[in-house]
Amino acid sequence: MSHPNTADQALVREINLSLVLRYVHNEAPVSRAQIAATTGLNKSTVSSLVDELLERRLIHEIGINAGGTGRPATLLEINPQAGGIIGIELGVDFVAVALTDFAGKIVWRKDTSADPSQTQDRVIAETLQLAGQAIAASRDRDLNILGLGVATPGTVDLKEGILIFAPNLHWRNVPLKKIYTENTGLKVFVENDANAAALGEHLFGAARRCTDFIFVFAGVGIGSGLFLNGQLYRGKNGYAGEIGHSPIIAGPTQAPCHCGNRGCWETYANQYSIIQRAQARLEVKRNSIIPRLMAEQGASLSIAIIKQAADEGDIEALESFAEAGTAMGQGFAALVNMFNPEKIFMGGPLSFAGKYMLPSIQQAILRHALPETSHQVEILLSSFGPDASLIGATSIVVHDILQNPTHAERR
Ligand SMILES: [Zn+2]
């Protein structure tokens, strides 16, 4: 019998380290004995792996479990102080930057509205300035930075970290990874906003133990992150999930989409469509409080104002959300028929009004998807609501460390 060579042994150890770290992440608090029983690794191997993860400060001991019938055991969990992570969300009309700890808790954040007419360089400069503030905030909290994640709308070349095309931003071929690496010196990951949100929901939210779910990111655009068989499904070139541009309810007279086409699903259910629906209703009805709210705030018609009116029971506002929810639900029904997911999450900017859309989304699914799947699927708002992609951006970095614990480098 030949002995495994050193490279094989190192690889096996790295795989086992990842296995133990992921188990602690998912199931904490856990004891060494529980890790051994669940992973099938022997107790001395688990003990050695746990020692290494403790030494790397990726996990920590949180006391003794004296309850139960067995011997008291020391419990382990992810060490929130393992390091800080910076997340950047490039929205269509805003940018957000956050600093989280290793357990996914936001410890610092700043948002700013981005004028869509601003140039690409100015928007990126703004995020770099906020990232600088996040790095300073990490020093105040004794968190060395483990990496920086960027979530962007559009299609992304993952390996090179290039934004290929974001129709709603009108950006093409932007080397985001290169730009952020050169300016911060950090390890940088770039991911599509809906994919990032799906990963965030899986690592830190309500999809923690779910192997088949879809994350629908809804704002100015609509995109989806497909989490299938326990991992993100990216397709051949990483562009899978761009469902907002599918002609699910295409009509040749529907408003043009930013992608250059007409009749894309997102034009029926996105933020603009809700504003248009409310606008059309205001032109024929007189009994809405929306005009008063606009006058009081000196503001034009916006999702925020329609939501405020809905909060006060305004029927025109409620109907505008419900109609868009029906269109949203027709797209969800296509996803349900195609993928038979356990759950679909709705997150992103529009989810702050999600409660007014969920009932009509659910009705449309029951009406349009096959009964075997439509009765089982759960439709939920994201655990992180409008922050789904921001948390998602940081979760890309955490995911990389969970897969490769020895990669974790603090700066
Ligand atoms: Zn389109």
pTM for the predicted model, two decimal places: 0.91
Please report where in the chains the tokens 């009004």 appear, as a residue. Answer: 353
Euclidean distance between CA atoms 332 and 205, whole angstroms:
21
Looking at every residue in the chain, the average pLDDT score rounds to 92
Q: How far is the CA of 256 from the centre of ligand 1 (A)?
A: 8
Q: How far is the CA of 270 from the centre of ligand 1 (A)?
A: 11
Percent of the chain with pLDDT over 90: 78
Q: Cα(269) to centroid of ligand 1, in Å?
A: 12
What was the pLDDT predicted at 116?
65
Confidence of residue 326 (pLDDT cuts 50, 70, 90): very high
Render pLDDT for 56-78 as a digit per residue (tens, 0 to 9): 999 999 988 766 666 778 999 99
Q: Which run of H or of E encompasses 233?
A: strand 231-233
Distances 223 to 100, 211, 321, 346 between C-alpha atoms, Å: 25, 19, 19, 10
pLDDT tens for residues 352-392? 999 999 999 999 999 999 998 899 999 999 999 999 999 99
Per-residue confidence band for 403, with pLDDT thresholds at 50, 70 and 90 = very high
The b-or-e profile of 46-76 (16+ CB within 10 A means b, else e) is beebbebbeebebbbeeeebeeeeeeebebb
Distance 242 CA to ligand 1 centre (A): 9
Q: How remote is the CA of residue 167 from the centroid of ligand 1, in Å?
A: 8
* Mean pLDDT, residues 5-32 taken together: 92
The Å distance, Cα 404 to ligand 1 centre, comes to 37
- Here the tokens at position 148 are 């920086």
Separation of CA 195 from chain center: 6
Q: Which residues surround ligand 1, an ion (CB under 5 A)?
A: 245, 257, 259, 261, 264
Q: How far is the CA of 221 from the centre of ligand 1 (A)?
A: 9
pLDDT above 80 (res 2):
no
Q: Tens of pLDDT along 277-292?
A: 999 999 986 789 999 9
265 C-alpha to center of ligand 1: Å? 7
CA of 37 to the centre of ligand 1 (A): 50
Averaged pLDDT, 204-230:
95
Rounded mean pLDDT, 311-324: 96
Query: Helix, strand, coil: what percent of the chain each, to 5?
Result: 50, 20, 30
Give 91-116 pLDDT, tens digit per residue: 988 899 999 999 999 999 999 988 76
3-class DSSP state of 282: helix
Å from CA of 252 to ligand 1 middle: 13
CA of 266 to the centre of ligand 1 (A): 7
CA atoms of 113 and 132, how far apart (whole Å): 18
The pLDDT confidence band at residue 411, using thresholds 50, 70 and 90, is confident
Burial class (CB in 10 A: 0-12, 13-18, 19+), 212: middle
Ligand 1 mean position to 153 CA, how many Å?
13
Cα 260 to ligand 1 centroid, rounded to whole Å:
6
Residue 344: what pLDDT? Answer: 98
Rounded to the nearest angstrom, the distance between the alpha carbon of 257 and the centre of ligand 1 is: 5
Task: Work out the percent of the chain whose per-residue pLDDT is above 70.
Answer: 96
* Burial group, residue 223, by CB count within 10 angstroms (0-12, 13-18, 19+): buried
Query: Which one has a higher pLDDT value, 253 or 284?
Result: 284
| Interval between CA 259 and ligand 1 midpoint (Å) | 4
Q: How far is the CA of 222 from the centre of ligand 1 (A)?
A: 9
CB burial of residue 1 (10 Å; 0-12, 13-18, 19+): exposed
CA atoms of 328 and 354, how far apart (whole Å)? 11
Q: Which two three-digit tokens encode residue 274?
A: 């809700």
Query: How many whole angstroms from 245 Cα to the centroid of ligand 1?
Result: 4
How far is ligand 1, taken at its centre, from the CA of residue 321, in Å? 21
pLDDT tens-digit readout, 134-175 = 999 999 999 999 999 999 999 999 999 999 999 888 899 999
Residue 262 Cα to ligand 1 midpoint, Å, equals 7
How far is the centre of ligand 1, averaged over its atoms, from the C-alpha of 73 (Å)?
56
Q: What is the pLDDT of residue 302?
A: 94
Better pLDDT: 188 or 68? 188
Give 361 Cα–ligand 1 centroid separation in angstroms.
21
Distance 344 CA to ligand 1 centre (A): 22
To the nearest 10°, report the CA torsion of 129, 135, 137, 138: 160
- Span from the CA of 306 to the centroid of ligand 1 (angstroms): 25
CA 175 to ligand 1 center in whole angstroms: 23
Cα-to-centroid distance, 293 and ligand 1 (Å): 32
Q: Measured in angstroms, how far is the CA atom of residue 109 from the centroid of ligand 1?
A: 31
Q: Identify the pLDDT of residue 73.
A: 87
